[in-house]
Amino acid sequence: MAVTLRIEADTLSAEALLGLTRELSAALNRETEVRATMATAPTGPGAKGDGAVLNSIVLEVLAHGAGTVLGHTVLLVLGAFFARVPDLKAILKDDSIIELYASEQGQG
């Protein structure tokens, strides 16, 4: 099972957001039962990097009981990053989309 995790934050530059995405990927690999790899942009003639792809991580569940492992451990790691960046938004996408916000900003 693979899930895409994309992060966004209006207060961070593109470079800082990419750095944070890399940090998050490393933390997820270290602290969870998922394999986190940076998403790759399309390649070929005329292909350009897309901000949504550059700030995305592909999560592959390594353990049995995927939903529980993915939900609990990934959310714990995300919580630490939400504490660092108050306007951080995380979007988890597979067959559905789940948006998580560091604050109540995304609720409307």
Write out pLDDT tens, residues 1-38.
788 899 999 999 999 999 999 999 999 999 988 899 99
Which residues constitute the domain of residue 13? 2-42+50-89
35 DSSP β-pair partners: 60
Residue 89 pLDDT level (bands cut at 50, 70, 90): very high
The number of distinct structural domains making up the chain is: 1
State pTM to two decimals: 0.80
Please answer whether residues 21 and 11 qualify as being in contact, where contact means their C-beta atoms are separated by less than 8 angstroms: no
User: Does residue 98 lie within any of the structural domains?
Assistant: no
pLDDT for position 88: 95
Residues in CB range of 64: below 8 A, 6 or more apart: none
Residue 86 pLDDT level (bands cut at 50, 70, 90): very high
pLDDT for position 27: 96
CA-to-CA separations, 17 to 105, 107, 108, in angstroms, rounded: 19, 22, 25
Structure tokens at 45: 């003639």
- More confident call, 105 vs 57: 57
Give the Cβ contact number of residue 15 at 10 Å. Answer: 8
Please answer whether residues 91 and 98 qualify as being in contact, where contact means their C-beta atoms are separated by less than 8 angstroms: yes
